[in-house]
Amino acid sequence: MLYLIGLGLSYKSDITVRGLEAVKQCSRVYLEHYTSILMAASQEELEQFYGKTVILADRELVESGSDEILRDADREDVAFLVVGDPFGATTHTDLVLRAKKAGIAVETIHNASVMNAVGACGLQLYNFGQTISMVFFTDSWKPDSWYDKIWENRKIGLHTLVLLDIKVKEQSIENMARGRLIYEPPRYMSISQCCEQLLEIEEKRHDQAYTPDTPAVAISRLGSASQTFKSGTIRELAEYDCGEPLHSLVILGRQCHELELEYLLEFAEDREKFRTDVSKDQQFFKPAPWVPPQQDADED
C-alpha cells in the first residue's frame, strides 16, 4: 500500500491520528520537501515523533525517481508525507497515477492546507476563484500567465489566493549547466516581493486586472503560533515587513461581503482608509445597470 498522508500546516502533532497510525506501520517514510515546509518541526523531530527514519524527497526524486518511492509498495506499506494536504500539488496526483498503473493500492489521509485554512483571514471560502502561484522573477524570466486568472476572478467578483514561491535544494543556472551538484541556500518569497512583482506586471500589461490601490490581505505563518494577517492595498503591502516564512496573499474580488470586510478591518492600520479602498475597488468590473430593451413605436 502507498499511503499519501497530509501533515497539516505547522506542528509535528498536526498529523491526524489515522495518519500517525499509518506512518508507524510503514517500512519506508518519505517527506515531500519542495512544495512547502512544516514550519514548527524539523526532520529530526518528526523522526523522533514517528519512531521512523524520514527520507527527504526533493523535486528530482518525486518527479524523476518515483520508481524508488514505489519500490516494493505492492508488498509492503510505504508512506509519502505532504505538508498540508496530499493533493495540494499536481505532482502528487501524478504519483498516484503511477502507483495505480503499477497495480499498487493507494490510500489518502487528508489534512488541513492553505487552501482551506486561508478562511482564517475572514474571507469566505466559497468566494474564492482560481488560485495562482507567484514565482521568483529573474532578469530574463518574468512569467505572467497568472495575470489573466486574476482578471477572470475579479471580473466575476471572486478573491484570488496567491501562493508564494519557495526554493529548496535548487541549483543556479550556471551550476546546472556545468553539471555541478551545488545547491543554493533556501529562499522564501516575501509579501513585499510578491506585491512588487504584481505591480511590475500590471505596469507592463495595463489591463487593470488590479491596480496599486486594490485591497489585499497578507497572510504569514498560517496555522502556527505566530500566525498574522495584514490588510492593505497592494502598494502598501509592497512595503510590508512580513517576518519569517511562510507567506501567502489574497487579492480581494470586486464583491466583498460586509462580514468579510468587518473581519479584514481588524488587520488594517487605518480602518477607514481600508474601508474606502474596498468601496472604490468595487467599482472595477462593476456590471453596467440593466436597461430594458426599447420597443419599436409600431409595436405600441
pLDDT at residue 289, rounded to an integer: 79
pLDDT at residue 169, rounded to an integer: 66
Q: Does 113 count as an annotated binding residue?
A: yes
Task: Label residue 191 exposed, middle or buried (CB < 10 Å: 0-12, 13-18, 19+).
Answer: buried
Q: Which residues pair with 233 in a beta bridge?
A: 215
Q: Cα angle vertex 149, ends 123, 265, to 5°?
A: 25
Q: Does 85 count as an annotated binding residue?
A: yes
Q: Does 264 count as an annotated binding residue?
A: no
Helix H segments across the chain? 17-24, 43-50, 59-64, 66-70, 90-101, 114-117, 146-155, 173-177, 191-205, 234-237, 258-265, 271-281
Neighbouring C-beta atoms of residue 255, cutoff 10 Å: 15
Q: Does 72 count as an annotated binding residue?
A: no
pLDDT at residue 44, rounded to an integer: 96
Domain ranges, ordered by start, for the chain: 2-112, 115-285
Mean pLDDT of each 10-residue bin along the chain, 300 residues long: 96 98 98 90 96 91 87 97 89 90 97 96 97 95 97 96 87 60 78 98 95 98 96 98 96 94 97 97 82 69
Instruction: Kindly list the distances between the CA atom of residue 258 and the CA atoms of 271, 276, 288, in Å, as whole numbers in the listed order.
Output: 14, 13, 22
- In this structure, the dihedral spanned by the alpha carbons of residues 203, 35, 82 and 228, taken in order and rounded to 10 degrees, is -50
The phi-psi region of residue 285 (left if phi > 0; otherwise alpha if psi is between -120 and 50; otherwise beta) is: left
The CATH topology of domain 2-112 is Cobalt-precorrin-4 Transmethylase; domain 1 (3.40.1010)
Q: Collapsing DSSP states into helix, strand and coil, what is residue 139?
A: coil
Q: Does 9 count as an annotated binding residue?
A: yes
Q: What one-letter code names the amino acid at 95?
A: L
Look at strands 54-57 and 187-188 and give their pairing. unpaired
Q: Does 61 count as an annotated binding residue?
A: no
pLDDT at residue 62, rounded to an integer: 83
Query: Is the separation of the CB atoms in 253 and 160 below 8 Å?
Result: yes
Residue 4 Cα to chain centre, angstroms: 19
Architecture of domain 115-285: 2-Layer Sandwich (3.30)
